């Protein structure tokens, strides 16, 4: 993936950092916090969304012979031309 996508997928962009800071402040004030941090759950959800969109695009571009959804006649080099 691209660097921006990777940063977002692993929760290293500003919204996720802000969630982490809010969690630390809440813990410092004595509030109850979730066992799984919100920023980790959000980053994992975003990673799953990115992976599914990448896989959907890859299968859309790949021929059926290789498990995609594109017609096999797109593999022109595999077919012999009629004489």
The pTM (predicted TM-score) of the whole model is: 0.52
- 47 φ/ψ angles, rounded to the nearest 5 degrees: -60, -45
Q: Are 61 and 68 in contact (CB under 8 A)?
A: yes
pLDDT digits (tens, 9 = 90+) for 6-37: 777 777 778 878 888 888 889 899 998 888 88
Q: What is the mean pLDDT of residues 72-76?
A: 64
Q: Is the confidence at residue 71, as pLDDT, over 80?
A: no
* DSSP-assigned beta bridge partners for residue 63: 70
Query: Domain residue spans in the chain?
Result: 3-78
Give 30's Cβ-side CA count (13 Å radius). 0
* CB neighbours of residue 18 within 10 Å: 11
70 SS3 class: strand
């Amino acid at each position: 993936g691209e660097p921006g996508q990777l940063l977002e997928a692993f929760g290293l962009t500003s919204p996720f950092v802000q969630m982490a800071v809010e969690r630390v402040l809440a813990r410092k004030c004595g509030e109850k916090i979730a066992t799984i941090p919100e920023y980790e759950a959000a980053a994992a959800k975003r990673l799953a969304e990115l992976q599914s969109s990448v896989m959907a695009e890859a299968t859309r571009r790949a021929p059926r012979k290789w498990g995609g959804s594109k017609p096999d006649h797109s593999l022109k080099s595999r077919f012999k031309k009629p004489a």
